[in-house]
Amino acid sequence: MLGWLKGTPGLLLRTLKDAEWKPLLDFVTPAFFEVMPARALLGQGRELVGNARDRKRFATVRRRMQQGLDELGVPVRLGPPGAGSPPPGLGELAEPERRARGQRVLELYFAQLLAGDVAILDLRPDRFAALGEGGLAWHPGPYYVDWDPGFVDAVRRLYRGFYRDDEGSFQEALADLELQAAGDLFIRHFGEGDQRAVRFDRRTFQRSFHDIFVRCRDTGASLHPNFLALGVYLATLYDHLAELQVPLDVRAAFDRVADG
């Protein structure tokens, strides 16, 4: 199934071999490597691996991230990797608990994307445990990215344009990301309707981003290397929320953080 992972793809995965980068396989497709400059892609992969090995800096990143989450009122407490006891299976939680957990994880996702210049990418379900009053304990692996300012600014404008129904800002952000040819596919990815009851599915995520990469390839677009980190971040998000098997109010999570 992964026989196409040769050349640049294979070299990238060998670069990432020392970390738990399975979520990358949920994101990358052959088309991804056709719209990403090889040198920039490998540079991003090596940066992620270097970050993962710098445990002292990761401790600093966690402290600063906690300050930012506290300021935004997101009830997530960061701890060191691997701390605490294994959480129960998500299937053992009652539906209201799964909905509450999903909303907190979405708020965390948006908080890291909309504020700050660094994001911890590990949102896998086994890295979380419940705290009292709807909060979560988070013990992510040391996988984080320093966003390029121009890239993350455009991604923020993309989300704000979509959720604030600002078509002009949405289209400008797409153009800055060289994604204007895939605008309709991004709207489909964000979800139909008002995004108040979105169900997350891994296969839908994989298919939608494959379609986006194919569209970009066919129109000659070249993507920013931070798309690798953003893809891993989204893959771990979908990995977590798909297990909850409940509809989630994505717009409310965005509004709570953006209006924080």
Strand partners, 77: 137
Bridge partner residues of 120 (DSSP): 144
CB atoms inside a 10 Å sphere around CB 151: 18
Digit-by-digit pLDDT tens for the chain (260 residues) are: 344 345 555 566 666 555 566 656 566 777 888 888 888 888 888 898 899 889 999 999 999 999 999 999 999 999 988 654 555 678 788 999 999 999 999 999 999 999 989 999 999 999 999 887 889 999 999 999 999 999 999 999 999 999 999 999 999 999 999 999 999 999 998 987 789 999 999 889 889 988 999 999 999 998 999 998 998 899 899 999 999 999 999 999 999 999 87
Give pLDDT, residue 19. 55
What is the C-alpha to C-alpha distance for residues 79 and 178, in angstroms, rounded to an integer? Answer: 37
- Distance, in Å, from the CA atom of 75 to the CA atom of 130, rounded to the nearest integer, reads 11
What is the maximum span of the chain, computed from C-alpha positions, in angstroms? 50
